Structure 1
Amino acid sequence: MKIMIRTAPNGVTSVYVPKKDLEEPIVSMERPGMWGGLVTLANGWQLAMPEMPEGTTLPITVEARRTTTGEEA
């Protein structure tokens, strides 16, 4: 699914999913740089992020894969 990742002025990085009109902050990252690993959103969703070079600037729109629905917890 296409998602947009941005960092707010307060430093919180969030994901916006246009098809769901959903914006949630990222609460944990499998890898320090986020890219190529799983990120967990505040609603419980886990997204598999694409490989991107370190230092990729935000905001950016990428193709990510949802691995959970957030309803398991």
Structure 2
Amino acid sequence: MKAMIRRSGVGLSIYMSKKDVEEPVVAVENEDLWGGFILVRNGWLLGLPDLPQGTRLPITVEAMKQPDQD
């Protein structure tokens, strides 16, 4: 799904227009953000594309929602 990632006053947030949802990012797998997973406050685990470390925000990317793990 298309997602816009931006910096807010308290950290990163992500907006998914298809779901009309904006949530803060609570955890990141990689320090440089790209090519790993992020955990969103609503519990979604999203995979991000592998982009160069200096990529500027805000940016719209194709994020892949991971299936629920039980």
- Whether the TM-score (by the shorter chain) exceeds 0.5 is yes
1:3 equivalent to 2:3? Answer yes
RMSD: 1.5
The offset of 1:12, in angstroms, is 1.6
TM-score for the superposition, normalised by structure 1 = 0.88
CA distance in 1, matches of 2:67, 2:17: 18
Query: Quick one: distance in 1 between partners of 2:56 and 2:32?
Result: 12
Higher strand share: 2
Q: How many residues align?
A: 70
What stretches of structure 1 of length at least 5 have no aligned partner?
A: none
Which stretches of structure 1, 4 residues or longer, exceed 3 Å deviation after superposition? Answer: none
CA contact (8 A) 1:4 1:15 kept: yes
Tell me, which stretches of 5 or more residues in structure 2 are unaligned? none
Q: What TM-score does the superposition give when structure 2 sets the normalisation length?
A: 0.91
2:63 paired residue number: 64
